[in-house]
Amino acid sequence: MIVVERRGAVAIRDPRTPVVAAAKPTQVEAIQADTRTVEVAARGGQGPAGPAGRDGTSPEATYPVGQQIHGHRVVRLDSGMAYHPDTAVLEHAQACVGIALQSVNTGDVTVRLAGTIEEASWAWHDGAVWCGADGTLTQNPGTTGWLLCVGRALNSTTLMIDFDSPIARI
């Protein structure tokens, strides 16, 4: 008898019996492994080259600013213009798009949408990086307002941008 106490999907391969028993009625799919042996007689020739890939740079976009934007802070969009988010306003969490690469008072701001961003003044520890008050980046999320994980510290000065789904506190 095999007993599994675990939540989630479990696969058990037991050659002694094709029967699965469960304490509660559970829909089970019987799966039989394909054990055939395939032998490759000869290697084929090189196929034609595929299309060129991206140049390896992280995606960026430029937006007109609707307020003074501080560099290395989270940016949200409203009517196509860049603002910093307010963690007390849930709609702001859903409008966050990236991290400003420079400070700008007027005109346009360049925003890194994904990939990595480096800043020599950062001192990150391994782990998640969150959007804090007024778009600041923090590893200590506040206790009020919504939560938004914006990425993970790769080392003390590098952030891998990867916006998660915002979490609303109720």
Greater confidence (116 vs 3) lies with 116
- At residue 30, what is the residue type? A
Gap between the Cα atoms of 113 and 22, Å rounded: 47
Q: How high is the pLDDT of residue 61?
A: 94
Average pLDDT, the chain: 83
Q: How high is the pLDDT of residue 161?
A: 95
Residue 102 CA to its chain's centroid (Å) = 23
pLDDT (average), residues 162-168: 91
Q: How high is the pLDDT of residue 26?
A: 53
pLDDT (average), residues 20-41: 60
Q: Model confidence at 91, in pLDDT bands (50, 70, 90)?
A: very high
